[in-house]
Amino acid sequence: MIDWWRRAWKQRREPAFGSGGDFSVLFVCTANVCRSPMAEALLRHRLRERGLAGQVAVDSCGTRVSPLRQRPDPRAGQVLRERGIESPLRRSRALREVDFSVADIILCMDRDNLEQARALCPGAAQERLGLVMEQAPGVSLAEVPDPYYGNLEGFRRVADLLDPAIVGLLDRIERWLREMA
């Protein structure tokens, strides 16, 4: 697994997503309407549970976002509400070049998203890129499948897959924040 924490902090150039925080996480999927907004909401929820909401900035984006800038898929919102989690209300946005200088860690949902992010990413920031499932201890699945063309059960499966990755990521962020204090 890639260990970004200390190097990422030293390379920061801009504040995290304009919302403050000691650390910033960007989730990337294809259209920014299913997987990455779910990951964003799950991490925000866990951060609030652990009292770290003000210390970590979280955002999400997509590699192929519609010019219409859609809202998150209603099925994603339903699954999040079933778990007592607020769904993001913002519209989808595309991965931008500036994201690579703002985000401390950029976690993609699948290898295709990772390849597209790498193609846009300047060389110095390449080590900040990874797959979100690399953060899930003991889980051998590398990618989060896109549930868009499926049913509600596909969205539930995505949430089930993302949950251990989010917990693993948050555990690492907490350790990093303690070390940097």
Residue 135, helix vs strand vs coil? helix
Q: Considering only CA atoms, which of 120, 95, 108 is closest in space to residue 146?
A: 108
Any catalytic annotation for residue 29?
yes
d(CA 56, CA 16): 8
Q: Which of 22, 59, 110, 146 is catalytic?
A: 146
**10: Cβ–Cβ under 8 A, 6 or more apart, which residues?**
none
Are 139 and 165 in contact by the 8 Å Cβ rule? The answer is: yes
Q: What are phi and psi of 63, to 5 degrees?
A: -90, -25
Which one from 22, 29, 61, 108 is the annotated catalytic residue?
29
- The one catalytic residue in 22, 34, 35, 99 is 35
Q: Is 59 a catalytic residue?
A: no
Spell out the alpha helix ranges (H) of 23-150: 35-49, 74-82, 99-102, 111-120
Say how many C-beta atoms besides its own lie within 10 A of residue 41's C-beta.
26
Q: Is 35 a catalytic residue?
A: yes
Q: What are the catalytic residues?
A: 29, 35, 146
